[in-house]
Amino acid sequence: MKKQFIESEELKTVADAVITEKKLDHLNNVQIKYLLVDPYISKTKVAACTKASEELEFFGKFDILIKFSNNIWSAIPEKLKTTSIEHLLRHILTENKEDGTFDIKVCNHDYSDFSAIIKDQGMTWIEELKLITSSVNDLEPKDKDRVTL
């Protein structure tokens, strides 16, 4: 099965709303591209946030790539879409440099970085996402915990 890649205005719209609502102002100058992968990134990988390589930056003029499995994006409710995008955006850190520019990094999962999501949503949102992904991708029950975002 050949994957298709679709630049997504819907993902961007959700992300822009999250950036504004959650006051993630450090992301305002970060160039982010949003991609749906059809049918999926993998059966257990719902989404990913990665720093663009030098080659991708050269050709695409962007800093960060956020990609989401299209079959899962289509199956989840709006609130879960918003929470998932917020989770991905919170991986992005910027660090100001003395010359006025900034470095962009993608951090690993860290409780302190994601405490705002935990405070707002608890931890049940991730379980709901894993359950939907397991169902949509016809995973064995034992594989539900392998689902990642």
pLDDT digits (tens, 9 = 90+) for 99-113: 878 889 998 866 555
pLDDT number for residue 112: 53
d(C-alpha 125, C-alpha 129), whole Å: 6
> Which amino acid, one-letter code, is at 49?
C
Contacts of 112 (CB under 8 A, 6+ apart): none
Tell me the percentage of the chain whose pLDDT exceeds 70: 96
- Domains of the chain, first to last: 4-138 (3.30.2010.10)
Distances (CA, A) of 4 to 13, 21, 76, 80, 125: 21, 31, 20, 23, 27
pLDDT in tens, 7-55: 999 999 999 999 999 999 999 999 999 999 999 999 999 999 999 888 8
Measuring CA to CA, which residue among 64, 86, 82 is closest to residue 73?
82
d(C-alpha 52, C-alpha 49), whole Å: 9
Buried b (16+ CB within 10 A) or exposed e, 23-40: ebeebeebebbbbbbbbb
d(C-alpha 145, C-alpha 148), whole Å: 8
CB 114 within 8 A of CB 90: yes
Least confident of 13-17, 83-87, 115-119: 115-119
